[in-house]
Amino acid sequence: METDVTLRARLTAAFLAVVLGPVLLGAVFVGIAVATVSDQRAAERLSAGRDNLHAALAVTCQRLRLAAETAALLGESADAAQTAVGRGLARAVEVVRTDGSVQASAGSAPARPWADCGAPTTSSAYAAISASVDVLDTTGRRVGRAYAVEPVDSTLLGWLGAASGVRVTSLAEGAQPTAEDRAIVALARELVPDATGTTDGGRLVRRIDPGAGQPLALAVSVPEPDVQGLYAVLVAVVVCAGLVAISVAWWLARSTTQPLTELAQAVERVADGDLGARVPVRSQDEVGRLGRTFNRMTREMQGYVQALTASRDQLRGQLGVLGDTLAGTHDLDRILQVILQTATAATGAQAGIVLMADQAGVELRGQVSEGLSGIDVGELRLAMGEGLLGTVAASGEPMRGRVDRDGPMLTTGEPRCVTYVAVPIAAPTAGPTTGLEPATERPPAARGVLALYDRHGFDEFDDADLVTLRTFAGQAAVAVDNVRVHEEAQRLSLTDPLTGLSNYRYLRESLRREVERASRFGRDLAVLALDLDHFKEVNDGYGHAAGDAVLAEFARRLRAEIREVDFAFRQGGEEFVVLLPETDESGAATLAERLGVAVRRTPVLVVSAGGNPAPRRVPVTVSIGIAVFPHHGATGAAVLEAADDALYAAKAAGRDTYRLAVAGPAPAGGSKASAEVTPGAPKAAQPPRQSRGG
């Protein structure tokens, strides 16, 4: 943890140095530059104000000269001066004769001295500015002088300030400045002409002495640039940038060091024996790749160690499951799946497969698989001698090794692998019992192949694995034989051995199942009850062997006439039953008629019991009763009984015909029968039920 903190601190300091250094330098540079630019702008503003002030004073002097000239032209009239004042050309106008007497005046002129627009003076004792023009008589002789006067007061100074864009302060003696103006006047009088200074009140001041076109001693001033606010903004920006930089630096250091810290902690856990330690992967960079590699390494190591440490218990449990499965089920797929799982657990294989040979022994078909992806084991087909699995099945010899080194080449469809071990599933042999049997080197015929692929840890399968797998293959062979024996026994228990048809036991189960199915889907189910006519005469006249031949031939013809979805049963003796799913009365009648023709058309060849070797032709006919669920009965037993009643009716009608059961309850004292007959079939009265045989 100490190393992690140090690394994080170093990364944070490095990031702050890289980011905050330029920010601080930039802030200092901006502060200096802004202060310099502000001072330059203030100086430029003073210079511009000075130029504007000269222009404004020139305009003022021209206005005063115009007023003086007007008064001089109309000097004999007292209204001329008043007119000039009234028009705003001057604040005061006086016309003075050469003897010093005032000829005319207007306005209120301050006491002399006045600053003359035409003759600047260095004296600072003035109260106004003026412009003067000689007054001439008609002969051109000078008789006086006209003066236009503008007092230097706050009005004039305010107008000059508005015109020049700066504050204008008079430096004339005797002026009555304000407190702020006094500080400006005091500073300006200490400056040399056109020099600039700063008052304590924060104003930049420049002194302007009288000159051509500028008769007054003045000072112009502007507020000193306020850079304190800018400095505060810069400080705030630097502080914010610093906080952001610190946050980013902390996040960057944390995002960089946290995965390393988690990796170090996970390594310590693995070192302490915890192989389940994993590193969270939050990025796709180099650190993320390192975390994914570590997780893959620990996951593979964990799987390998778990496979090694748990193999004994797993094998014991699998053997227990295998024993229970072999003892408790005849499901071949389930048995082979358990055998395959036990074999993979015992050898540490990653995957495995079982293929079984078809009845002809020319093709292997996928049965079960374990740990294989991308392969539909039910669709896998391999010819004998083809690829790895076909070679093992054809030769009957086990094989193990590496595909790239030992071969054989895998065919299309076979599972891909690096290492393998495959053994044939052969029929078990009991071995010699007397010691006199001839020895044979030919291996027993292979029932299938059991193959395992790629051990955990990528080690090759060894001889011990081969011996183990052959043991499991022997168990698989025994299981296959047991299942086939059980299936054959079950088939025989449900099949009539003479005709090959299903027996009465299977009839009851099938009838119940088909009635439930027809009821669930709302379909019809036709039931045909068949009985061979005069069969007792065949047994008596030709022997029971001939009777058996007649029954077998009738069953063959019956199978030839019905569909694959139909069911045929031997109920007992010469009585048979046929179930026709999804068939109505018309379809059942069509089949009954066709079946009667097929039986009647060709007599059966039999050998008589009297020793006569010449075969004889025995004509055979069949009577058929038809009932349809649910029209003739609500249960399977009721429908079968209705078909049996219809069979009685067919017998009573002269045999070799069929009858359809009548829906509804049977009439009192009789059985249910139909009036429908095969065309051309004879009709007869219905006999008693107990006389149906033959």
Longest dimension (CA), the chain: 198
Query: Would 39 be classed as within a structural domain?
Result: no
Query: Would 9 be classed as within a structural domain?
Result: no
pLDDT of residue 669: 35
Using CA atoms in the order 313, 315, 316, 322, what is the torsion angle rounded to 10 degrees? Answer: 150
Which of 308, 327, 342 is the last residue in one of the domains? 308
Query: Would 20 be classed as within a structural domain?
Result: no
Residues 6+ apart with CB under 8 A from 30: 234
Query: Would 526 be classed as within a structural domain?
Result: yes
Q: Which CATH number do you get for residue 583? A: 3.30.70.270
* Shared-domain flag, residues 540 and 653: yes
pLDDT of residue 175: 67
* Shared-domain flag, residues 236 and 378: no
Residues in the chain, overall count: 694
Query: Would 74 be classed as within a structural domain?
Result: yes
pLDDT of residue 691: 39
Which of 274, 292, 308 is the last residue in one of the domains? 308
Query: Would 628 be classed as within a structural domain?
Result: yes
pLDDT of residue 679: 38
pLDDT of residue 493: 61
Give burial (CB, 10 Å; 0-12/13-18/19+) of 385: middle
Which of 193, 223, 253 is the last residue in one of the domains? 223
d(Cα 92, Cα 108) in Å, to the nearest integer?
A: 5
Query: Would 398 be classed as within a structural domain?
Result: yes
* Shared-domain flag, residues 165 and 181: yes
The structural domain count of the chain equals 4
pLDDT of residue 674: 46
* Shared-domain flag, residues 383 and 411: yes
495: which DSSP letter?
A: B
* Shared-domain flag, residues 64 and 165: yes
d(Cα 404, Cα 7) in Å, to the nearest integer?
A: 49
* Shared-domain flag, residues 243 and 253: yes
* Shared-domain flag, residues 535 and 639: yes
pLDDT of residue 494: 67
* Shared-domain flag, residues 267 and 190: no
SS3 content of the chain, % helix, strand, coil (to 5): 50, 20, 30
* Shared-domain flag, residues 258 and 189: no
Q: Which CATH number do you get for residue 336? A: 3.30.450.40
The predicted model scores a pTM of 0.37
Task: Give the residue among 533, 534, 517 at the shortest CA–CA distance from 525.
Answer: 517
pLDDT of residue 204: 84
* Shared-domain flag, residues 255 and 301: yes
Walking along the chain (694 residues) 10 residues at a time, the average pLDDT comes out as 57 72 75 75 82 85 84 70 80 84 80 79 75 83 86 83 85 71 79 81 81 78 74 78 77 72 78 77 76 81 69 55 56 76 78 81 80 78 82 83 81 83 71 45 66 78 80 72 64 73 84 92 93 88 85 90 90 89 92 92 76 76 94 91 93 92 54 41 37 49
* Shared-domain flag, residues 264 and 314: no
* Shared-domain flag, residues 212 and 287: no
Domain span at residue 536 reads 495-691
pLDDT of residue 514: 92
pLDDT of residue 404: 80
Query: Would 26 be classed as within a structural domain?
Result: no
